[in-house]
Structure 1
Amino acid sequence: MLFVLVECSKISSNGFIPAWRESLNTVKIEDIAKMANVSKSAVSLAMNGKPGIGKETRARILQIAKEHGYAARTPKAEKGRAPGNTIRFIACTQAGIVPEHFSQQPFFMELIQYIEEKCRKRGLSLLFNTLHPDELERRIGELEQEHASAGILLLGTNLGGDQVRAIAAQQRRLVVLDTCFDAIEANFVVMNNKLGAHQAAGQLLADGHTRIGIVQSDERIANFSARQEGFLQALAAAGLDCAEEDRFTLSPTIVAAQEPFIAALRTRREPLPTALFCECDYIAISAIKSLAALGLRVPHDVSVIGFDNIHESVVITPELTTVHVEKEAMAELAVAKLIDLMAHGPGVTTKIVVDTRLVVRASCSAPAAALPAGGSGTVSAH
């Protein structure tokens, strides 16, 4: 894979795709795009080593560029950029929470845009790399040998504690984003998942719900586990619990009605919960679409609350009540912490937890009478 230095001062207006000095090459990006029958942005993604296109398409673009002598701007071609001006952003991609096209998902897209903005304002260059978790420890070392950086921002969303511990032992100027392990001596910046879950539970309890279900992700990460733990703690403090039959599972990366969830609702014998707490907004939106497929109305029949406050939360009908994650603040704090490490060297490690806030919209209300089991009442049997 080709990794290219992204100069933050040359990021285009969309805040994500870097500008290229195409005039330095006889063969232009648009020429490669025509020959590969793809868009110019696809060529840019391929040449930058960024996610968002398939492996076969990437390989075809790189082969055409090589055959026609296209001279990409590699890190070695950059002059006047000392390691002290360069930080490396590493995202670990795999099937599930952070797939190869993760940068197109709203939460990660916003976070990356904010990171690039904070770097640009400080005159920093950003190396953007995507790696599979299985090769993370080895490849970080190789990348740093090829082109040294002054520090590393690691998107740790889907990483386990052992993986983070190994990287932290190898890279002392490291800040891990979007996860946190209390027992690991490393720098972390993460949202306050438990507070957000308590805020969500507080809203549903204030609305008068006493039978509340949980819709969890079929892919488990530290953030989701903390959210569910916090939510159950809030219910317990109110003298309530979430029954096992009121716990459901959905994919966290699909924004559509999901048949397994629909089938679980249609075939259950117990009354439905009057409200559902979802571990993220994608799950909440899928839950709303799945309920609609059964003829159930949100929030009249079932209230739904999400977590993240992505842009799609105001596109869905009804607009989603959700927990807002301060993504810009997380980016600012992560970049500032890394700059401090760059200036003063490794010292006392810190774990920065950014509080959340509840955004109340139209997907929650006071409960109606308890709904019957699937197959009767307002639940469609088709």
Structure 2
Amino acid sequence: MKMEDIAKIAGVSKSAVSFAFSGKQGISPETRERILQIAKENGYTPKSRATVTEQAMKSLTFLAFANSGIVLEQYYQQPFFRELIHYIEERCRANGYSLIFTSIEMDNFMESIKALAEEKRSDGVILLGTNLNQLQIAAVAVQLTTPLVVLDTCFETLPVDFVEINNVMGAYQAGSHLCALGHRNIGYIASQVRIHNFDERKRGFTTALRESNLEVNEACVFSVAPTILSSQEALKNQLAAYLDAGNPLPTALFCECDYIAISAVKTLSELGYRVPEDVSVVGFDNISEAVIVSPELTTVHVEKERMAHLAVDLMIQSLESGKLVKTKITVDTQFIERLSSRSPVKAAVNNA
């Protein structure tokens, strides 16, 4: 039996199993106890983490700040972050580094940063910057005495190494796709929680529409929770109010992330609308669930493996060279057309 098998039985990620065996923070006591019990029942004996660390003699810290918005307490189970962590672990291992996981609640921001800096548990820190603003990242950079690479966001004026998604490009690709299909009444489903990535996606999407002489009608902009995969009453209520005002249902909806898109598909289905026959839906991120939902989701693929590898490589380069000049890397996206989007003309013909 392998760690992957334990993870499958427990219904958690491989990273969560790693947390349980190593005794590190990042999972609840209940989850840790369940994983260890499953391992015991199946005769699985984990390798000594102390031995691995001693052999490697080098380590990096993956740092995440948890809140109730985007990066949840159990962020390692969220599809996007789960994939990033897997690829970071993979790259670290290939380069002779062990990876230490540290999760800090946002409420104890400054105190926790200072404590982490004093501990000096590793050679460098890869910070998940998804839900952090410029001031927060600047505070982390000032406090840490080890090299820092920030992943999944970017602020151009900070003297810090960043690796980010080309959010503008990805949303531009989504907008161009819908315009090319012939959609003219296009809605937008935004996240209630605002972060740098979502603001950039909105900029890219509106740029694509303007090139086709279109605008998103403000009455057709909806806002929902960004981390719920089930249908949402909030979206039902907003759509009802929009339609009750005499507005036509948009022929297409762009969603700021796949979580929102999958939630929208389920919400629309419960309201009696078909995707894509009545309304096309496009997401962003290409998480693994995008091909499980029905219909399969048209979305923007984020090169998570490349981003993770670049972050580790940038860190190792910094450690080995001691370079002072920082680097900012933007990784382009790839548009993936699946079954949740189609031409409104096709829909009209098929429904006639």
User: Which TM-score band applies after superposition, normalised by the shorter structure?
Assistant: 0.7 to 0.9
Query: 1:157 and 1:15, CA in 2 relative to 1: closer, same or farther beyond 3 A?
Result: farther
Query: 1:43 and 1:309, CA in 2 relative to 1: closer, same or farther beyond 3 A?
Result: closer
Distance, in Å, in 2 between the alignment partners of 1:205 and 1:157 is: 29
Give the secondary-structure state (helix, strand or coil) at the position aligned to 1:213.
strand
What amino acid sits opposite 2:20 in the alignment? L
Q: 1:241-288 CA distances to partner (integer Å, 9 max, x unpaired)?
A: 111110001111111111111122223221111100000001000000
Distance, in Å, in 2 between the alignment partners of 1:146 and 1:87 is: 13
- Deviation, 1:167, is 1.3
1:190 maps onto 2:190 in alignment: no
Match of 2:26 among 34, 46, 51: 51
What amino acid sits opposite 2:126 in the alignment? L
Query: 1:256 and 1:141, CA in 2 relative to 1: closer, same or farther beyond 3 A?
Result: same
Distance, in Å, in 2 between the alignment partners of 1:300 and 1:60 is: 44
Q: Is contact 1:308-1:324 (8 Å) kept?
A: yes
Query: 1:43 and 1:181, CA in 2 relative to 1: closer, same or farther beyond 3 A?
Result: closer
Query: What is the RMSD computed on CA atoms of the aligned residues?
Result: 3.0
Distance, in Å, in 2 between the alignment partners of 1:348 and 1:42 is: 38
Structure ranking higher in helix proportion: 2
Distance, in Å, in 2 between the alignment partners of 1:181 and 1:112 is: 22
Gaps of 5+ in 2: 8-15, 36-46
Query: 1:196 and 1:15, CA in 2 relative to 1: closer, same or farther beyond 3 A?
Result: farther
1:123 maps onto 2:96 in alignment: yes
Match of 2:125 among 152, 162, 185: 152
**Where do residues 24-43 of structure 1 align in structure 2 (5 Å cutoff)?**
none
Match of 2:322 among 345, 351, 374: 345
- Deviation, 1:238, is 1.6
- Deviation, 1:326, is 0.1
Distance, in Å, in 2 between the alignment partners of 1:76 and 1:143 is: 23
Paired residue total: 327
Q: Deviation above 6 Å: which 4+ runs of structure 1?
A: 56-61, 72-77
What amino acid sits opposite 1:231 in the alignment? F
**Where do residues 238-317 of structure 1 align in structure 2 (5 Å cutoff)?**
238-268=212-242, 269=245, 270-317=247-294
Distance, in Å, in 1 between the alignment partners of 2:312 and 2:18 is: 29
Equivalent in the alignment of 1:14: 4
Distance, in Å, in 1 between the alignment partners of 2:315 and 2:303 is: 19
Distance, in Å, in 2 between the alignment partners of 1:53 and 1:134 is: 18
1:324 maps onto 2:301 in alignment: yes
Q: Is contact 1:305-1:363 (8 Å) kept?
A: yes
Match of 2:202 among 228, 247, 272: 228
- More off after superposition, 252-261 vs 145-154: 145-154
What amino acid sits opposite 1:203 in the alignment? H
Q: Is contact 1:304-1:320 (8 Å) kept?
A: yes
Distance, in Å, in 1 between the alignment partners of 2:137 and 2:303 is: 23
What amino acid sits opposite 1:193 in the alignment? N
Distance, in Å, in 2 between the alignment partners of 1:43 and 1:149 is: 18
Q: Is contact 2:22-2:49 (8 Å) kept?
A: no
- Deviation, 1:109, is 0.3
Query: 1:370 and 1:262, CA in 2 relative to 1: closer, same or farther beyond 3 A?
Result: farther
- Deviation, 1:46, is 8.3
With normalisation by structure 2, the TM-score equals 0.85
Distance, in Å, in 1 between the alignment partners of 2:134 and 2:148 is: 15
Equivalent in the alignment of 2:59: 86
- More off after superposition, 346-355 vs 333-342: 346-355
Equivalent in the alignment of 2:44: none
What amino acid sits opposite 1:211 in the alignment? N
Gaps of 5+ in 1: 1-11, 18-40, 62-71, 372-377
With normalisation by structure 1, the TM-score equals 0.78
Distance, in Å, in 2 between the alignment partners of 1:322 and 1:91 is: 26
Distance, in Å, in 2 between the alignment partners of 1:234 and 1:93 is: 33
Q: Is contact 1:16-1:116 (8 Å) kept?
A: no
